[in-house]
Structure 1
Amino acid sequence: MAARPLVARQPNERLQTLIQEAACSNAGLARRVNMVGAERGLDLRYDKTSVARWLRGQQPRGRAPGIIAEAIGRKLGRTVTIDEIGMANGKNLASGVGLSYAPTVAGAIEQVCELWRSDVGRRDLLTGSAVAASALVEPSRDWLISGKDPQVERAAGARVGMADVAAVKAMTTALTDLDHRFGSGHVRPVLVHYLNSVVSGLLSGAYREQVGRELFAAVARLTELGGYMAVDTGQPGLAQRYYIQALRLAQAAGDRAYGGYVLAASMSHLAAQLGNPREIAQLARAAQEGARGQVTPRAQAMFHAAEARGHALLGDA
């Protein structure tokens, strides 16, 4: 039997173009990638030879493509997607992005920014994704047993202040109004591009503790709105990813009440649309337990109503 011919890798021309645009050497890019990795708690040891291999078409594994995109984006002063650097792997993006509930604040920032980048850069891969049944309830358990993140303050990056937080809140209000007037199909692309091009930079910036908590709270609400719009445009699998990340951002904000809302209203509603009554009840119950003593009587009643709906659909007495 004749030997199968080797398939030559294609040079990564997209990455080459961006490196030239950034006026960055291979060694310089490697250093920047290692620095971004260190911020994420990773001990990366790339060098100029590693970059040369990427340019020849080698695909780094794991979280490396997102970190490379982040490093180049910082040098260029704009958001760069994995697709732009020629390292988008359709199967990986469609399967796991946005479904993890990160254990750390740094991981949460990375997760949600990767979701936004993927949504903008590879929309076709995410819009057709199905709901991951196992991820309907698992994030609620992580949220339920997790305490408040001890610190969200960041020292590296551009300074972020309360004016930036106010801008995110104002944008959320404006986009909500536009959604009510014209529908999610018209508005959602604007929301996603704003998250990817502006909000990702804010989360990666430098902020004091109080500003950081307020920022995470505002971004949680805007991310939840992105999930709502995904449901409205017939993309439940994408909505699930946005809801999971909104829940994690609410934890970083220290806002248990809003986390409960995401579970009992947003994720529970998604479970109802998918015909999963047991998950409706479980999500609502988690909201009650996790936000106990931190919500208004009206919100608590809404949580109980959601649980009752799940039991009714199950046929429980």
Structure 2
Amino acid sequence: MHKGSQLAVFLETLHWSPERLAREINRRYGEGTVSLKAPYGWAKGAYPRGQVPGFVAAILSDQLGRTIDISQIWPQRFPDAQPGGVGDPALGPPWTEEHVGRILRPLLDQEDGKREPWPAEPVPGAVLVSLAVDWLTAEGRLASARSQGAEVSTEMVDILTSRIARLRRVSAAEDDSLVMNWVVHELRWALHMSENTAYDAPTGRRLYGAIAELAQLAGWLAEDQGHYARGQHYLLAALRASGLAGDRNLGAYVLSCLSYHLTKCGNGQDALRLIKLADVGMDDALPGVLHSLLASREARVYAHFTDGPAAEPAGQAGPTVHRVGSAGHPAGGPPERRDAEGRLPGPGPRSPLIGAHSGVVTPSGHRGLSPCDCDR
């Protein structure tokens, strides 16, 4: 085996041959995923295609009992792999079940005080755009069935989704920290079920849809408390979980939330790019409410960063735009507090169409999100 390869070092630690690694990949992810000879090239420094690097990282992490990132296996591919940077393997594809847990666990541990604040810096707008392109163009992979652990019933998932709906209703009226604790509790429970119980593929997709909704809500509560970087990472976890749920519209919705965050931070150019990518990637078969929301947000960004006419009617104040430095932090102090009705300042006036379609039911059977949820 090639002694200069980090993968070779990991395999020697496990007393595995490259062929055994190939067999384990095919056992987990389907026969024919890789050829039995392919890992011999990887052990010499070659880089696998598609989602395979993530598969290798997940297997090594399980076998070694610690988290192994893609950048640790192929460091030559990630010379600048700082957290939140372009080479951060925690952010980019492949987006698998293992990667959802990998981005959420540090956030959940932080909420319990088990680790230092992470991440320290918000993700730059250019990186968010790159991740949005990955979401739009990467080959989709739906959540698969699990056979190990206690079986999850449909009723349990129904209870989880009903609790999410309740959380969205109370989040506008209750204290942020109390609601955040509740959201984190539900998110931890949902993640535990996704990783440790048995379910069929449709139930798995529903579980990851619930994880995506909870992570989106946690992202906006964290941002409301001034934790901008943490909020972004919750939203990025929501984006990848929505892919496993097979819900393109939920993914587009999360991108619109990230765009709204960039608008508040003064990065209009990347905010517009995110909105346009979200519009391209959504499912045209659904009712027009999400199209209307994205168009509304695009108009609001133009209104803030061009000399065009204001988007809000007379007497209605739009959200404050906080100017930021290169790191992405708003320079104007803490985020806006809730208005008299308990909502964060929204991205713009809502048309009657948007206001009337709370809880749209998607063709996949998931409860649709109210277009005003990003304002909570």
TM range (shorter): 0.5 to 0.7
- State the alpha-carbon separation in 1 of the partners of residues 236 and 259 from structure 2: 12
1:241 aligned to 233, 240, 244, which one? Answer: 233
| Between structures 1 and 2, the one with greater helix share | 1
What is the TM-score normalised by the length of structure 1? 0.66
- Distance, in Å, in 2 between the alignment partners of 1:258 and 1:310 is 21
Q: How many residues align?
A: 246
Counterpart in the other structure of 1:279: 270
Q: Give per-residue Cα distances to partners, 1:225-246, cap 9 Å, x unaligned.
A: 0001111111111110011110
Q: Which fold has the larger relative contact order, with Cα–Cα distance below 8 Å and residues 6 or more apart in sequence?
A: 1
Deviation for aligned residue 1:122: 4.0
The answer to whether 1:62 aligns with 2:68 is: yes
Contact 1:230 1:239 survives alignment (8 Å)? yes
CA deviation vs aligned residue, 1:225-270 (integer Å, no higher than 9, x gap): 0001111111111110011110111111111111111112x11111
Deviation at 1:61, TM superposition (A): 7.0
Choose from 128, 131, 134 the match for 1:136.
128
Judging changes above 3 Å, is the alpha-carbon distance between structure 1 residues 186 and 61 closer, same or farther for their aligned structure 2 residues? closer
Mapping of 1:183-262 within 5 angstroms? 183-196=175-188, 198-204=189-195, 205-262=197-254
**Residue matched to 1:313:** 304
Native 8 Å contact 2:146 2:199 kept in 1: yes
Matched, 1:179 2:171: yes
- One-letter code aligned to 2:141: D
Aligned to 1:54: none
Identity within the alignment, %: 24
Q: Does 1:114 align with 2:105?
A: yes
- Alignment RMSD (CA, Å): 3.5
- Whether contact under 8 Å (1:250, 1:259) holds in the other structure is yes
Tell me: CA distance 1:268–1:285, structure 2 relative to 1, closer, same or farther (3 Å): same
Segments of structure 1 that go 5 or more residues without pairing to the other structure are: 1-33, 52-59, 65-91
Check conservation: 1:116, 1:192, Cα contact below 8 A: no
Identify the residue that residue 125 of structure 1 maps to in structure 2: 117
Contact 2:215/2:238, CA 8 A, preserved across alignment: yes
Q: Aligned AA for 2:97?
A: A
The answer to whether residue 144 in structure 2 is matched with residue 152 in structure 1 is yes
Of 108-117 and 235-244, deviating more is 108-117
- The offset of 1:113, in angstroms, is 3.7
Does the 8 Å CA contact 1:94/1:125 hold for their aligned counterparts?
Answer: no
Q: Does 1:164 align with 2:156?
A: yes
Equivalent-residue separation in structure 1 for 2:100 and 2:216 (angstroms): 15
- Quote the residue 1:14 is aligned against: none
How many angstroms apart in 2 are the aligned matches of 1:94 and 1:212?
A: 28
Unaligned residue ranges in structure 2 (runs of 5+)? 1-20, 29-54, 71-81, 309-376
Check conservation: 1:98, 1:242, Cα contact below 8 A.
Answer: no
